[in-house]
Chain A
Amino acid sequence: MSARILSCGEQALTVELGQSVDESVNRRVIALAQALQINPVPGVLETVPTYRSLLVRFDPEVTRGAAMKEMLQDRLNGLTEGLDLAPGRLWRLPVAYGGSTGMDLRDLAADKDLSADALIAMHSAATYRVYMIGFSPGFAYLGGLPRKLHTPRLVTPRQLIPEGAIGIGGQQANINSIAGPSGWRFIGWTPVRIFDPDRAEPFLLCAGDRVQFEPVSPEQAADVAARQVAGETVMQPEDAS
């Protein structure tokens, strides 16, 4: 479908590239955000990629809205063929499945007629895509959850889910970026902090990245956590391939 450029007040526009959660639409959203980084439009202050649209905040005293619309349309038309197919960074995050944070692992496996090991194998075999960051600082909405693992959220959210909890909500996977209430189901814990306000790079993930989960023992996870507390950089993205 062709893009719609929608008004969000006089200081922002939403470039809507589709109506559904769809990887090819999301790839174009990220590609447009990158195009605006490579070849900036004067006055653009920041962009916010979401599933199927890009919010563009700008100063209309630098570029008025009508001109901004034309320039955004221009950038869209100029999106290089294939640019939207470039894979994002790949992160392999260690996960200790089960345990007190992965409190739903056994029940979820039983619901799906799987052993816990089979569920872990299925969850850790997939490659996930960060569709967008939202809801809370660094919270990544991950697409690519195997269909068999799709699970509705709880009607009544739990009050306190720890940071690093690995969750399933509907068709999506997530990593809890900050401790708080949540209605998602949780099957494990990663020691890697995806949000740390005191780190030079506070946010590990950005929209367009890819994520894989690597099963580790609770002892290995604790070791990563300890090294991280000591200030070590415990996670680097792998080269895009």
Chain B
Amino acid sequence: MLEVVRAGPLVTVQDAGRIGLRAFGVSAAGPMEPDAMVLANALAGNTPEMAVLEFASVGGTFRATKDMYVAVTGSDAALWIDDSPARPCQTLSLSQGQTLRVGSLGSTLWGYIAVLGGIACDPVMGSRSTQLRFALGGHLGRTLEAGDTLPVGPCTAPPSLRKATSRPASSALAEIRVLLGPQDDFFSQEVLTRFLSAYYSVSPKFDRMAMTLEGPSLEAEKGHDIVSDGTLPGSIQVPGSGVPLVLMAEGQTTGGYPKIATVIGADLPRLAQLRPGTRLSFKAVTLDEAENALVTSRKATRAMLSSLGSADPIQPTSERLLSVNLISGVWPEDEASPNG
């Protein structure tokens, strides 16, 4: 079990998501930045889709009720095991009774805590992801609170100790690529030009459903009501206020506002990670460019996962193996790891 001693304001259980139920009004939920979740799982020795804790900005304090392996991802998270500083983006071992304290993320918004064996709350409709709006899945369908205890799944073997090289910090000004449509024809050429040339900033009003943007208003010459149609994460809706908002992992499945554009798959996780106040601009790309960017980003994810280094750069010696075994009971068998 993992005990929640203190929880940040928005900590939820997430796995790969509740896929394939949009026709029944259920969005997938799942991680805001899938790559960071997959990396946390890989470092903890899990398969990519296993359930983790997702947090916004600040994690919290968690106590291990048994020996366990964990990993924390999401840029430069400040971590402590009991009172000793620890490093994000690598396998960490927690002994029974020890606490993991996850402080603030420096440059991104969403971080992930993976535990070997996965968070093992009961799946709802095939997924452990929390859908906050309708209180589905996760831990009682809600954000975690102090005093919660989370079951951890069984693990057959300790993971290899691994680490990832830290990612470059996001720039202060982001360019987010979009494909125009499906309702770009509701807007005049002048408004489309404004949308693509103006700067927007990320509003402090964000959640797992949508990200609201601050910037020039976008009036739709054909009106701000459409006969409701399907929406997706990345859909940029423009309600009557003219202020665009981007639907995210838990966004509704249908909507009655015109959608001026859709954030491309390669850039949606980047957008999700922008902290409130960050400036951004939108750039229209072609379908080919969007598809190529998706293929490239998926390749980069696979490359990142296959290039995880050993957490200890020192070559194994018998003395070291002995010491590692004494400390953690782990054989540093990076090459033989199922994730290697």
Residues on A facing B (Cβ under 8 Å): 6-12, 14, 16, 19-21, 33, 45-55, 57, 60-61, 64-66, 132-139, 141, 177-178, 197-198, 202-203, 206-207
Size band of the B side of the interface?
35 or more
Q: How far is the CB of B106 from chain A (nearest CB, A)?
A: 30
Binds A, one of B75-83, B203-211, B287-295: B287-295
A47 in complex: contacting residue of B23, B229, B234, B259, CB < 8 Å: B23
On whether A65 and B24 interact (CB within 8 A), knowing A9-B265, A53-B229, the answer reads no
Report Cα–Cα, A238/B259, bound state, in Å.
39
Q: Is there an interface contact between A6 and B182, defined as CB atoms closer than 8 Å? A: yes
Q: Which residues of A contact B23 (CB under 8 A)?
A: 33, 46-49, 133, 206-207
On whether A51 and B234 interact (CB within 8 A), knowing A135-B254, A136-B134, the answer reads no
Q: Interface residues of A: mostly helix, strand, loop or mixed?
A: loop
Total A-B residue pairs with C-beta atoms closer than 8 Å?
Answer: 127
Q: Which residues of B contact A197 (CB under 8 A)?
A: 124-125, 136
Q: How far is the CB of B158 from chain A (nearest CB, A)?
A: 34
* Interface members, chain B 275-299 (any A CB < 8 Å): 287, 290-291, 294-295, 298
Q: Is there an interface contact between B181 and A48, defined as CB atoms closer than 8 Å? A: no
Q: Which residues of B contact A64 (CB under 8 A)?
A: 291
On whether A65 and B232 interact (CB within 8 A), knowing A10-B265, A52-B227, A135-B252, the answer reads no
Report Cα–Cα, A48/B182, bound state, in Å.
15
Return the chain B residue nearest A5 by Cβ.
Answer: B182
Q: How far is the CB of B180 from chain A (nearest CB, A)?
A: 7
B263 at the interface (CB under 8 A from A): yes
B235 at the interface (CB under 8 A from A): yes
Report Cα–Cα, A178/B262, bound state, in Å.
29
Q: Mark B116-158, 1 if CB is under 8 A from A, else 0.
A: 0000000011000000011010000000000000000000000
Q: Is there an interface contact between A14 and B24, defined as CB atoms closer than 8 Å? A: no
Q: How far is the CB of A236 from chain B (nearest CB, A)?
A: 19
* Interface members, chain B 221-235 (any A CB < 8 Å): 227-230, 232, 234-235
Report Cα–Cα, A133/B21, bound state, in Å.
10
